[in-house]
Every structure is written in structure tokens, then in C-alpha cells.
Homo-oligomer: A and B are copies of this chain.
């Protein structure tokens, strides 16, 4: 695979670069992101750089600038440090640079940057290291080590810089600037509309040859800024170190219950600063090990290290971007950039949740609870649009906000008029996607508690929406869903998008099943939910509608029509838009109206339907649709590639399966300059895990049962992974001709190649006569 960063054959946790003068500056900032789910910051340099995107976010702290939709505010910067050597300000564009090396240790999230800066005939060695603690979510620490071949005077300015904005938009109102005990500096701010309070603290320790200096800083304040200034004379060969401790607290933190956040937070920093950088890093490293790496093992044996790097990278980014409270969810770009404003989309349910469901079900439950808490907002949206039940928002911020998609986008390239953004109104499949994820979770975990407290209600409420959404077509005597956007966002105002119709139908089926379960097993809960959701009447509606919902069927060639008009539209050659390492430029040739009239698909649509409901369709239909749709798909969305890889793998189209796998791994780490500037594609990270474990590793849920039908890429000699199933840990080892399944915990059942296997409690079995799936086909 072709990455924009270097990898290390012997260390799959390393990504690095020796190119400091790169045009990739914003991309490197994105992929060398550091976070712990609470706070996240881009891999910017300490000293300011031209064109940098210096972003730091805390999960869930949404605010709306007047006239704009809510977004995560870009917070005051705690990473800044300005160095002057003999009066020359450190800037790698000045002087000369030798031995530049910037690298991320994905095992514990420590970022390192080192180089020798040559200025005025002196050589100054800099080494920057820093991390965000996975042990204490509020804590950041960084250490800079400096030495020179001649005597130098070193001036350092470091502190808290609140002059950040979201591309020019300022959310935070300045509070107070304080310092305590001559060394702890503090800035407080408050968000303008959501009134969330923020406190930021920093302090520094300085050492020469490991001896602590007692220098008092000279404090300077500016607008939204407070800095400590130090002035140190350093002899040739002496080793100087400055350690910066910072922390962040907000008034919506659930782990701090103190009236005086300002005082409590500075006390926390005092305590943290008793430990040195190394001790704090060790604690964080142990937390990474315990909270993440112990739970989600994936090991790929291959001559090539990059697949293992890719899966490590994917899991690193997911861990660093996943919040810890059910009031928050993972943004399409997590905390890694301003793109999509921190909003959550179906990316979570369809592309990221499989990973969490199968490895960290508690986190999966949190992420689904977010949708339960979002029912209020979903009701608002349904009512506003004239429907009943829960219509989940296309873009979600605070759960109770409901829809947060912007109303207006860019101006049309032809007319010059601003274009309405339709997704928030008619991209309705999200309500089915949520239910799909709830069912996957329930099937994999058997979490009855969640089902009763939240899961059933989500399913029922969603079904209430869907049945209110159906439109009766007299001519065909059937229920239809017209005027939607399906997964293929090139087609606005489509009628009977197959993906949407199947999902709606399936949701209503699930709701009917849930009512049956409730009546039989949980009569009390039935009564409760009946009061809330008018179950008796809803049930009758569902029964009377469900079998009359139009489900587009494969035509004579086996092709499922994407929507009513798609198959009659004009065809063009899409090849030139399918290149992965450039931006798809179809909109340079056509405007949206024109693309709407072409048989061109942005991303997996019918293919996604087939991937999610793979029991519905036989191999011939799958292949027919692959052959029809894939060549018409630009894959402009990163969401397109994982389903394509998984279906291709199932169909034995090995080269295609690996191509889409590779493209997904290259989505963020690849060489394309423009991609990832606004942040990571976290659905791709979920996709990397899914293609690896669910695609090549073959883990699927069929009719509520665990199915494991692996088919490894040629380039891999073996794959090991670990999943959770019904509370037990399942370790699967696969080679091209052997498959072993080990269970820690209660015994489980699984299906391979159509045959059911049982693994007793805490034991291991080998699958007899293991046949890789392709051969079956």
C-alpha cells in the first residue's frame, strides 16, 4: 500500500515522516492526531506554521454561532511554544534543518518530533514529545529537550492561546485569566449559545542536565491569551528540558462535581505535576493496553507490514475519537478536524458500530444509548416534517437537538444561487440504519437489559416513523417511499430507492416481532411502551402495511433498480472519476442536476443493501448487481469501498476485494494531498476493521447466529482476531487452510460453510476440512 508516511518493518505501531517541508502539512496533522475520546488535538507543531490547522476539541461541547448550525468549538491552544535561540525565532523555514523526524507511536499515542536546527553557525538539537493521557482524560503533557553545540540564549514563550477559531468563527466568550502561585496559568471561557464553561490550565517545569530550575516565569497576557516566558542561558552540551503540563475541564464533564471548576482544575494540575513526564506516559500506556489493545486483537501475517499498520491505525483513531458519555457520539471526522462540524451521521451505525459491537460492546451500547437519548430530537424532526414516531437526524450533535444539518450549501455552479441542502430533510434511511445497528448489537451481545431499557423502544418508535412515511400508490396497490436521497447522494428526490424501501420494510418487520416478544415475555414493559407509543394502533398499522411495501426486485438480468428512474438514465464512462488518489472531479464536468440524470452512483447503494442483507439475495443476483453498479460508481465517498471489498471477497473477486481494501486503507494515510485536510474519515477506520474481520475474516450475523466464513487475501499467510459473542471472548485464527476458534467464557455456537459448530466453555476447536469461501462459490 502507498502511504504518505513511512512505516517500519519491525514495528507496526509506527508511522513517521522525515519530510518537514511537505505540502502534506494538514494531512500529517490529521493522521498524527492525538486524543482520548474526551479531548482531541491535531498533530500540529509547537511553533506556529503557515497554513496549519490548529484544532483542539472536547467531545460534545457543541455551540452554535448565530445563524449557523451547531459545531464543536475549536478550543484555546495548549500546545503552543515559541522558541528563540539568540533572538532568532524557531521556524524550520529559516536556517537549515538536519535529521528531521516526526513519528507517532500508535500503541500509546505519543507523538515525537526531532531535528537539528542550524542557525547562525550553531547547531541546536530539538526533541519534542507529547501525549494526551488515556489514564486521566483531562491531562496533556509535553516535553521538549534542547541542546546545542555552542552556548546559546534560549527564550521560551508557552501558555494558553485562546485566539483560535473555527475557520474564523469564535464560539467562546472570554472569561478570566489568572495565575496561581506564580506558575499555574489559567484561562476560562464560556460558549456563546450553549453556555458551557471551559477551564484551561498550564504549568511548566524546566531542567538543565536533569536538575530542576527555579526560574519564575514572566507572565504576559493578551486578548484570550496567557503565556509564561522563560529566559535561559545554556552552555554548549548542556541538556535543557521543559515539561508542560496542561489540563482541560468543562461544565458538562460528568466525572467532576465541583462547584468551583477553576479552583478544582488547578488543584488537579498541581497533583498531576508531582509526577514526571515519563511516569504520566507510563500510566497512559497501561490504560491504552488495558482499555483498548486487550480487547480488540487483530494480527495479520504478511510479508508486507502495511496491512497490520492499517488496522492498528484504524483502531488507534477509533479509540482516540470515541467519547465516553452516551450524550455524545463519534463525529464523521471525530475530533480530528473541523470537517462536518463534529456531527454524527449514519457513519457510526453502519460503518463503525460493527467494530465496537464485536470488540467493545460497552462502548457500542453507549453509542446506541445516544440514539435513545436522541428520541426527543427525532420526534421533533418527525413532527416538523409531518410524520409520526422517531425520525432520526441526518446530522446529529447534542442528542436532544434533532436535525443539525445546514439548510443551505454553496451556490450552484451554473445559476450562482445558493443550493438547498436536502440531506437533513429527505436522506431518511438513517432511521433504518439506527435500527439495523440496534439489532446487530442485540444479536451479538444478547444484552436484554439494553433491549428492555432502550433497544425495543428505538425499534418501535422508528417503525412508527416509517409507517407514517409510506405513501399509497393506487395504481400499483402498494406503499411507496418517494422523494428521498438514498446512499447515492448524486440522486436527490429519488422515488423508491431500493436501500431505503428494504430498510423501512425490515424495520417494520422488526417492530412487529418486538411487539410479539413484549406481549409474551414482558407484559409490564408492553404496557409502559403502549402508553408512550400507542402500540396497539401502531401494531395494526404495521400489520396492514408491511406486506404492501414495494421492494424493488431484481429485473430479468438480476439487477435491482436503485430507484424508479435510475435504469433509464443516460450512461457515461465513469472510469476517469474512479481514481483513488485524486479528488473525483465529476462536478467539474457536470452540475448536480446533470449528474442526477446519469447512471452514475457516488457510493455503494444497491451494493450496500446487498452487503447488509446478504441473506436476501443469492450469489447470481449479487454478481449481476456487482457487474452492473460497480462500474457506474465513482466511489467519491469513502463509505463506498468497504462494502464493495466485502462483497467482492464473498464473490471470489479477490483482486477487487483487495483493491477496495487497499483504497480504504489509503483514504487517510494515502498520498492524496487534499484528502483528510479537514479531518479523518472515521467510517474508513471502521471499514478497515470490517473488511479485515468481517470481510476477509468472515464474521457475519445470519438470522441472529454467528457465522464465520473467512477467505484470506493471497498476500496474507494468516489472520488472528478476537471478538465478543454473547459475553464470551472468541479468538479466531485463520490461515489459507486452517481455522481455529477458541472461547474464553461460556461456550458458543457458530456456522462455517453452512455447518454449525459448538465450542464448549473455555476451550478451542479446529474447523474440520476448513474450506475458504471462494472455493465454495
Total interface residues in chain A, CB < 8 Å = 44
With a cutoff of 8 Å between Cβ atoms, the chain B residues found around residue A66 in the complex are 173, 192
Q: How far apart are the CA atoms of A224 and B223 in the complex, in Å?
A: 23
B-contacting 9-mer, from A47-55, A133-141, A250-258, A729-737: A47-55
Residue in chain B with minimal CB distance to A179: B416
Q: Which of B50, B68, B226, B411 contacts A49 (CB 8 A)?
A: B50
Q: Which of A426-468 contact B (CB under 8 A)?
A: none
Instruction: For A50, list chain B residues within 8 Å (CB).
Output: 48-50, 91, 93
Beta-carbon contact of A168 and B417 below 8 Å? no
Residues 168-182 of A at the B interface (beta carbon under 8 Å): 168-170, 173-174, 176-180, 182
A67 touches B177 (CB 8 A): no
Q: Which of A28-36, A214-222, A342-350 contacts B (4 or more CB under 8 A)?
A: A214-222
CA distance in complex: A657, B179 (Å): 44
* A167, A173, A219 pick with most chain B CB within 10 angstroms: A167
Q: Does A588 contact B (CB under 8 A)?
A: yes
B180 lies within 8 A of A416 (CB) = yes
A247 within 8 A of B: no
Contacts A170-B170, A418-B178 given; does A48 touch B48 at CB 8 Å: no
The proximity string for A residues 61-73 relative to B, scoring 1 for CB distances below 8 Å and 0 otherwise, is: 0000111100000
Main secondary structure of the interface of A (DSSP, over half): loop
Interface status of A327 (Cβ within 8 A of chain B):
no
Q: Are A224 and B51 in contact (CB under 8 A)?
A: no
Instruction: Tell whether A561 is near chain B: CB-to-CB under 8 Å.
Output: no
Flag whether A728 is at the interface (Cβ < 8 A): no
A413 interface hit (Cβ, 8 Å): yes
Q: Is the CB of A65 within 8 A of B173?
A: yes
Question: How many copies of this chain are found per oligomer?
Answer: 2
- A97–B173 Cα distance when bound, in Å, is 43
The A496-511 residues at the B interface (CB cut-off 8 A) are none
Stretch in A158-166, A602-610, A620-628, A754-762 with 4+ CB within 8 Å of B = A158-166
A410 interface residue (CB < 8 Å to B): yes
A100 CB, nearest partner CB in chain B, Å: 16
* B65 and A170 contact, CB distance less than 8 A: yes
- A417 CB contact (under 8 Å) in B178, B182, B226: B178
Contact of A178 with B67 in the complex, beta carbons under 8 Å: no
The answer to whether A94 has its CB under 8 Å from any CB of chain B is: yes
Option from B65, B93, B173, B410 in Cβ contact (under 8 Å) with A221? B410
**Judging by beta carbons under 8 Å apart, are A173 and B418 in contact?**
no
User: A585 CB to closest chain B CB, in angstroms?
Assistant: 11
From B49, B168, B177, B218, A418 is in contact (CB under 8 Å) with B177
Residues of B close to A418: CB separation below 8 A:
176-178
Query: A residues engaging B (CB < 8 A)?
Result: 48-51, 65-68, 91, 93-94, 162-165, 167-170, 173-174, 176-180, 182, 190, 192, 218-219, 221-224, 226, 408, 410-411, 413, 416-418, 588
Contacts A66-B192, A168-B223 known; 19 new A-B pairs at CB < 8 A: A50-B50, A67-B174, A68-B173, A68-B174, A93-B93, A163-B167, A164-B168, A165-B168, A168-B170, A168-B224, A169-B170, A169-B224, A178-B411, A178-B418, A179-B411, A219-B411, A221-B410, A221-B411, A226-B411
